[in-house]
Amino acid sequence: MEREVKLYDTTLRDGAQREGLSLSVEDKLKILHRLDEFGIHYVECGYPASNPKDAELFRRLMEIELRNAVPVAFGATRKALIGADKDKGLEELLRAETPAVCLVGKTWDLHVKRALQTQLDENLFMISDSVEYMKKHGRLVFYDAEHFFDAYKSNPRYALETIRAAVEAGADWVCLCDTNGGTLPWEVAGIIVEVKDEIPVPLGIHAHNDSGCAVANSLLAVKEGVTLVHGTINGYGERCGNADLVAIIPALVLKMGIPAVTMESLASLTELSHYVSEIANVKPDNHQPYVGRNAFAHKGGLHISAVLKDPATYEHIRPELVGNRQRIEVSELSGKSTIILKGRELGRDLSKNPEKVQEILRLVKELEHRGYHFEAADGSFELLMRRVLGMHQVFFRLESFRVIMEKREDGKVETEATVKVHCRGKRIIETAEGNGPVNALDRALRQAIGRAYPELEEIELQDYKVLILNPEKATAAVTRVLIESGDGEKTWGTIGVSENIIEASWQALVDSIEYGLLHKKAKPDA
């Protein structure tokens, strides 16, 4: 019989505590709907007693129907020495009207004495009263045993007493929390083995990543019998983050044989990860396991040769299972097989044209010696190949550009760019202002060719990086510019290298626009 493991997402509460991350009510609702579509079982939506934003979110939730996810309101056990029915936090939890609530309580005697500044017995009453009060009002209750692993190592008897108090009061689940994120995997496994037979309700795991072990701790907990896994999308959370559900879910499904989500949902995992990062305004991690842009990227010639024969040689799963794809990177380490594979992507069999392969390899090595870096510039590399193969499409021709920067006495800085281009049989001159030379050039070029290519509206620059390649030459140093662009469906990188930073930026900018127009099937210039 297959084991059943439930997924509990806390991106909207714990994840939102990441430094620099701020989610509006609309942002949270968008993420909630996407998690629901994906098949997450429980979604912790926020802490209704903590701020007006979360209070509004729970009001909006009353008007929403979800297909899969059960919304959960988060709160703490009652305050010391008052009745549960007099506690304002518990009152707000009930007012949220979610079918499930999560109550966090103190487990570590250190916290009871120093943080709550109350007696150990009173903390037990606080836990039992709060759980019983929620059950009396018909709620499914998750009890979060805060700092459980630290508590158990410090005072195992009292740590067990706290979760027994929750269970005896009617808690449906007890979630063991590694709140400080410092417990190591074998400690987590050993403690769960000791505890699970003492607790007659299902157990969960809530791991933080302060020692880099959150995913490992969560998976080991499941191996030892835990059936509820807390985490956040992309591992967002305060300090070093929470357990990353994006890594946990495919490990459960593909490696442990536990159908936490359907295979259809799993195939949309990369999309989910990038969707949440877009809403959260956090740049995706290219090296993130399973879903990162580089998760199935191959650079070394030996690796590439092997994966072309059998991807299993250097890929632990098939990337399409999680909605990702294999990428063959091009660099000075590339061999003929890499170029032949890239040729196939363009619809050309270069195995029958070895002189073109050699020419492309020669150009790559020559350009990388000058400072180019095609691993991160797939757009520029494709354009290079198209030029060598006679497949290049011209969308416009530059006559000249000029950039003027003016700094005034009042401290204000203005940048103006003028471009002169030939497009559709016309000579076009456009001038635009920007907050810097690249922004001004981008605006001027778009104004010049935008009428001919309305597809430009969908292409936007997403990131701009500058690297000084030989800083010892000071102001005469060579500059490398990398631009990342996207059109809402895919992203691509382009590159420019020059002793003049504006010229390097122009090279990367033009490649970015040409690549985007090419893949938007724009009609090239006559």
Instruction: Tell me, yes or no, whether 399 lies in a domain.
Output: no
What are phi and psi for residue 239, nearest 5 degrees?
A: 55, -115
Same domain, residue pair 187 and 309: no
If we measure between CA atoms, which residue out of 375, 296, 389 comes closest to residue 343? 389
Instruction: Tell me, yes or no, whether 342 lies in a domain.
Output: yes
pLDDT for 371: 85
Same domain, residue pair 87 and 140: yes
Same domain, residue pair 111 and 179: yes
Q: Which single residue is written with the structure tokens 């020669």?
A: 362
Q: How far is the CA of 195 from the CAs of 129, 155, 199, 341, in angstroms?
A: 23, 13, 7, 54
pLDDT for 238: 96
Q: What DSSP assignment string belongs to 496-508?
A: EEESSHHHHHHHH
pLDDT for 526: 60
pLDDT for 304: 67
Instruction: Tell me, yes or no, whether 229 lies in a domain.
Output: yes
Instruction: Tell me, yes or no, whether 371 lies in a domain.
Output: no
Which helix (H) or strand (E) is 463 found in, with range? strand 460-468
pLDDT for 331: 59
Give the length of the chain: 526
Instruction: Tell me, yes or no, whether 336 lies in a domain.
Output: yes
pLDDT for 261: 97
Residue-range definition of the domain harbouring residue 314: 297-361
pLDDT for 281: 84
pLDDT for 335: 67
What pTM did the predictor assign? 0.75
Coil, strand or helix: which one is 462? strand
Q: How many angstroms separate the most distant Cα atoms in the chain?
A: 86
DSSP for residue 110: H
Same domain, residue pair 206 and 152: yes
pLDDT for 239: 97
pLDDT for 410: 87
Instruction: Tell me, yes or no, whether 356 lies in a domain.
Output: yes
If we measure between CA atoms, which residue out of 62, 66, 73, 72 comes closest to residue 38? 66
Final residue of a structural domain among 247, 280, 313: 280
Same domain, residue pair 257 and 336: no
Instruction: Tell me, yes or no, whether 169 lies in a domain.
Output: yes
pLDDT for 373: 79
Cross-strand partners of 460? 486
Tokens of 40: 């997450």
DSSP for residue 208: B
Same domain, residue pair 171 and 237: yes
Same domain, residue pair 331 and 236: no
DSSP for residue 242: B
If we measure between CA atoms, which residue out of 34, 85, 471, 74 comes closest to residue 276? 34
In whole angstroms, what is the distance from residue 469 CA to residue 116 CA? 55
Same domain, residue pair 161 and 223: yes
Same domain, residue pair 156 and 274: yes
Over the chain (526 residues), the average pLDDT of each successive run of 10 is 88 95 93 97 92 91 94 96 94 96 96 93 97 98 98 97 98 98 98 95 98 98 98 98 98 97 96 90 90 84 74 92 83 68 86 89 87 84 93 94 90 92 94 92 95 93 85 78 87 92 94 94 80
If we measure between CA atoms, which residue out of 146, 120, 10 comes closest to residue 71? 10
pLDDT for 309: 79
Q: What is the dihedral of CA 412, 417, 418, 423, to 10 degrees?
A: -150
Cβ contact 185:216 at 8 Å: yes
Question: Domains in the chain: how many in total?
Answer: 2
pLDDT for 300: 64
Final residue of a structural domain among 307, 330, 361: 361
Task: Specify the CATH number for the domain of residue 125.
Answer: 3.20.20.70
Same domain, residue pair 312 and 259: no
Instruction: Tell me, yes or no, whether 138 lies in a domain.
Output: yes
Same domain, residue pair 340 and 191: no
Final residue of a structural domain among 232, 249, 280: 280
Which helix (H) or strand (E) is 6 found in, with range? strand 6-9
In whole angstroms, what is the distance from residue 114 CA to residue 179 CA? 16
Tokens of 153: 């190592």
Same domain, residue pair 190 and 324: no
